Amino acid sequence: MTTATRPAPTAESRVLARYLTAAVGARLADEGARVAIVLLALERTGRADLGGLLVAALMIPHVAAAPLAGTAADTVRRRKPLYATAFTAYAAALAAAAALIGRSTAAAAASLIIAGCLSPLLLGGLSSLLSELTPATLSRAFSLDATTYGLAGILGPALAAVVAGATGAAWSLIALGGCVTIGALFFLTLPLAARPPVAGRRRRPPALGGLTVMVRRRRLGAMTVASALSQLGFGALPLAAAAVAIHTDRPALTGLIMSVTAAGGLLGSLLCLRIRAVHRHPERALLLCTIGMAVPFLLTAAAPAGWLLLALFGVAGLFSSPVTVALFTIRDRESPPDHRTQVFTLGAGIKVTAAAAGAAAGGLMTAHGPTALLLAVGASQLLAATAGAALLPRRPQRPPQSE
């Protein structure tokens, strides 16, 4: 695309504002649903383990469905109907789960599996569109896109808890579905043009094309491995926060720790608007900030449960956002145009699945207390940075070409 055909920066700002509203609606629901599902399972059955199984039904399909979702988005000429259908079906699946949890576990799990299969388009799939929607201000767009995850991490669980307390947990799922619907309406206003028709039979990208790109593009593959190992630790973070709260006999500390971490992430995303090195040297920024996350997590293992503990969690969250922004930049630079969405959706799916695995591992470690959990969370960041640095090629690669 030539400079002459790009939207003016002011026009791009308006487009970005609508995009961010759509993204917040979807991602807020994704974060909040995990809390609402557990609360509804407890409300109707008194079984926290059922809530955990249903949350797994929502999260685990991400990585399996990501290649298919990405292939569809990379292939269809008109992407608006595809994404709008994903928004709408996700909202409908949450509403169905609200009616079925506690009444038919199999049907509730099926509805959440459907939602989990749609999630990759609403997470990484949306981010993959920014290079087309905001080409002149892409670095700024990626930084602001990262803030949507911070906002979702703060507001999603809070909304689920507040609505559940006021009207019941079923209504919290319905309210989150309403957020997704609002996001769909804003998405439909985006200037996402149909792809031009292709002469002859259009070649369909292979379903695992995104994985092939990650293997061949070693920079992308190395940073994907690093982000997945990092998310193993982050997946266990809620359990570590709960262990700290139990150990100090302060139940409210769990939510406070997670909110402070998310707030730190939000601040980090805003700082990325000013820190150009994150965009100019994304691999270096990702590895250094991953190490930066390890330090406060390891220090929390010895910190008293006071303001210092909360400050350390906030610092860890602060470092997490440059990691996300750098990863978006790497995906954008290393992805061939006809596999771009596959790379973004698969990358997001791998991170979500790694976080789910981390949560499962954290659950097995809860008997060892908060210190062991916090050390494990910090160690996973060091492991991620080490693995990423070891896999990163030393010589620059040629720019990726459309395959």
Q: What is the mean pLDDT of residues 101-123?
A: 92
**pTM (predicted TM-score):** 0.82
Per-domain residue ranges of the chain: 13-192, 208-393
Contacting residues for 217 by C-beta, under 8 A, at least 6 apart: 334, 335, 397, 400
* Identical fold, 13-192 and 208-393: yes
Contacting residues for 369 by C-beta, under 8 A, at least 6 apart: 243, 247
pLDDT of residue 381: 95
Give the model confidence (pLDDT) of 257-300 as tens digits: 888 888 898 898 888 888 888 888 999 999 999 999 999 999 98
Lookup: tokens for 116: 């989990």
Alpha carbons within 13 angstroms on the beta-carbon side of residue 9 total 5
CATH topology of domain 13-192: Growth Hormone; Chain: A; (1.20.1250)
| Percent of the chain predicted with pLDDT > 90 | 35
Give the model confidence (pLDDT) of 168-215 as tens digits: 889 999 999 999 999 999 999 999 887 777 555 555 556 566 678 888
Alpha carbons within 13 angstroms on the beta-carbon side of residue 262 total 21
Torsion, CA 354, CA 357, CA 358, CA 360, rounded to 10: 160
| 208-393 belongs to CATH 1.20.1250.20 | yes
Confidence category of residue 366, pLDDT binned at 50, 70, 90:
confident
